[in-house]
Chain A
Amino acid sequence: MTDQTIASHVSAPKPAAKPARGIWRQGWQRFARSRTGMLGLVLVLIVVATAVIGPFVAPFDAQDQSPMLDPGAKAPPSWTNPLGTDRMGYDVLSRVIYGAPTALAVGLGAMSIAAAIGILVGGVAGYRGGTTDEVLMRFTDFFLVIPMFVVILAVVRLLGVAVVDTPFESVPYLNLGVIILLIGVFSWAPIARMTRAEFLRLKNQEFVEAARCIGATSGDILFRHILPNALPSLIVIIALGIGGAVLAEAMIGFLGFGDPAAVSWGQLLYFNYQALKVAPWASLSPGLAIFVTVLGFNLLADGLTDAFNPRAKN
């Protein structure tokens, strides 16, 4: 009776399904068990689908004001206009649909910029330490305390004035691009801090020491060891940031500083809030769209947190 024969009959005490091997697949399995996370994912997918397919199936064009004639402005929801019409005679449903790609462009675009800057700054600060760390962190603090909105509103205003009679005036969506850039530039600081914290934590871990012992170069260690282990926390904070960026753009639009060429939910609110009493559907619809989008990304981030930091079993 050898170890092998008996051992092959008995099994380790694991639950029924054999877990998938890959780290990312296992993360997905844990994520799938989180109800908030799945709900968030569904909401986000709805928004993405709307942004991608919506413009092709929207009943009206983005700039089409024909409903002004029939059934007229501020008309309540009907079969031809499922969400009614707004103050200027646009079909609310179509405008909300066209607002989706704008929202996603802002969210993803701004966070891409923020992530690129933040990971770079935070990573270098965390890994190098010492004076480099101090200098970079003071630089980051500066960006943390600047009032984002005031600056963005000022820049957008000045930009509007400055590009008159210049070749820049004809650049499509220049305003929107600047907004995206600015939101990104003011959102990288929290990412840098998180990255720095993760790098500090990880660079003293034993497996990093082991890699050094083997003879790995600093580049190896940074990109193959530390970064992949830092990514989970970063993904969570970036997901949250996307929701925040969408919200920021909505606020900018609501204040009237949005890009007139682009359809954005904040701008829809700006155009229609004065008619809240007589045509509530025109304000509630874009408001609801913002709510769903931001909630979706927040719940997604929640689910990701659970997925990457599993609570101890038993």
Chain B
Amino acid sequence: MAGLAAETQAAAAAPRPPEATASPAPVLVSVENLRIQFPPWNAPVRVVEDVSYQVRTGETMGIVGESGSGKTLSSLAILNLLPPPARIAGGRILFEGEDLAAKSQAQMQKLRGRRLAMIFQNPGYSLNPLLTVGAQLAEILKVHEKLPRSAALQRVEELFRLVGITDPGSRLSQYPHEMSGGMKQRVCIARALLCHPALVLADEPTTALDVTIQAQILDLLEELKQRLGMSMIFVTHDMGVVARIADRITVMYAGQVCETGDKQAIFARPSHPYTQALLASTPRIDKSYAVDAQGRRERLPTVGLAATPGQSLGGGCRFAGRCPEAVPECTRLVPQAAAIEPGRSVHCLKRGSAGVPGHG
């Protein structure tokens, strides 16, 4: 109990997100020019190409993209949990002064669970069905902090209370299958926070949950952000979720970054054509869609969305195949980051980016 209270106090005194203080918080994680590839190695498939972003302490970076955008792979790379045969083929991941991309599995194992934690998409799959939840989480404390069993279970119970699990003491002896989806995800969040990590990665933690439960979990994450000053990387495909939970946003498409910046700015003034298309084409519950006298309904704008994906993993901007503003250079040159506002950058030749010839 003392440990957690002290931690909460310390976190409360920690640097706050940019709008609260004059100087921005220090950078916690810096992903620089990350490249992830799949075999065959003589002509590798470049699933993540030259991705860079930064996460500051106490901030939540929302990574938005569809399937195939590389959002999950780039966050798994931070933990060095890439599914074989994928491998990091270039770039650096700077965390607490070290390059995580250069570390061995043994070195990473010391960091995972302690300084870096992860919450997965499907809580049912990431919990061991044969152990009680108390036992599984206590095990983590035994390994990382060498706590005796009773002390470990006590800490687990504290964390259950923190994440809003009712009747935490009796839950310790429950099995995952005895819990609902929302409850299991709370257990997973508790598991991530066990050793007070510096950074939490959440990979679509609410996608597999019902709508009302999703709202509860997002409420919980927001509350934990405030109370603990948590730094988080939140990966999702849902623009609505990222509008709630994130402070800054990075939009990805087909392994490349489209734009990155402050959440308010990106939603108010989306710059990259992909972001614009995505925001325009998403149906909204706060909008009334008109039906005229003949019963004809207005359509959703689908500019920038091809019927058959003309996506390439080759050179140049990978959105060029669908982009309504593309010019021939777009397929040859890879757009670099261009600063359009303080704290915002976009990767688009038509928005002022310089272009670098890409791989064929």
Contact = CB atoms under 8 A, between A and B. Distances in A.
Interface of A: 1, 3, 6-13, 15, 314
Contact of B331 (A10, A13, A15): A10
Given A1-B324, A1-B327, A9-B321, 4 more contacts: A1-B325, A6-B323, A7-B322, A13-B311
B15 to A, nearest CB: 40
Contacts of B310: 3, 6-8, 10
B175 to A, nearest CB: 27
A6 B45 contact: no
The DSSP consensus for interface residues of chain B is loop
A314 B48 CA distance: 14
A53 to B, nearest CB: 41
19 contacts: A1-B325, A1-B326, A1-B327, A3-B307, A3-B310, A3-B321, A6-B322, A6-B323, A6-B331, A7-B308, A7-B321, A7-B322, A8-B310, A9-B321, A10-B311, A10-B321, A12-B309, A314-B45, A314-B86
B306 A7 contact: yes
Contacts of B40: 15
Given A1-B324, A3-B322, A314-B45, A9 B308 contact: no
Interface in B182-236: none
A113 B308 CA distance: 49
A12 B40 CA distance: 16
Interface residues of B, number: 23
Q: What is the interface of chain A mostly: helix, strand, loop, or mixed?
A: loop
Interface string B302-323: 0000111111111000001111
A66 to B, nearest CB: 60
Contact of B312 (A1, A10, A15): A10
A9 B311 contact: no
B267 interface: no
Contacts of A12: 309, 311-312
Contacts of A11: 312
A180 to B, nearest CB: 47
Given A3-B322, A6-B331, A13 B306 contact: no
B314 to A, nearest CB: 7
A196 B33 CA distance: 53
A10 B310 CA distance: 6
Interface of B: 38, 40, 45, 85-86, 306-314, 320-327, 331
B45 A9 contact: no
A10 B327 contact: no
A12 B325 CA distance: 21
B85 to A, nearest CB: 8
A13 B324 contact: no
A15 to B, nearest CB: 8
B349 to A, nearest CB: 13
Nearest to A9: B331
Nearest to B314: A10
B320 A6 contact: yes
A279 B306 CA distance: 76
A18 B309 CA distance: 18
Nearest to A11: B312
Contacts of A6: 310, 320-323, 326, 331
Contacts of B320: 6, 10
A7 B308 CA distance: 9
B182 to A, nearest CB: 27
A274 to B, nearest CB: 56
Nearest to A313: B38
A88 B200 CA distance: 81
Contacts of B325: 1
Nearest to B312: A10
A3 B313 CA distance: 17
Contacts of B312: 10-13
A12 B45 CA distance: 12
Nearest to B83: A314
Contacts of B323: 6
Given A13-B45, A13-B312, A3 B306 contact: yes
A161 to B, nearest CB: 59
Nearest to A6: B321
* Highest count of chain A CB atoms <10 Å: which of B308, B310, B323: B310
Contacts of A314: 38, 45, 85-86
Report the 5 A-B pairs with minimum CB-CB distance, sorted nearest first: A7-B310, A10-B312, A3-B306, A13-B313, A10-B321
A311 to B, nearest CB: 12
Nearest to B318: A10
Contacts of B327: 1
B129 to A, nearest CB: 22
Nearest to A15: B40
Contacts of B306: 3, 7
B122 to A, nearest CB: 17
Contacts of A10: 310-312, 314, 320-321, 331
B301 to A, nearest CB: 15
Contacts of A7: 306, 308, 310, 321-322
A13 B314 CA distance: 8
A9 B332 CA distance: 11
A10 B327 CA distance: 14
Q: Which of A6, A8, A11, A15 has the most CB of B within 10 A?
A: A6
A257 B36 CA distance: 65
A7 B322 CA distance: 7
Contacts of B308: 7
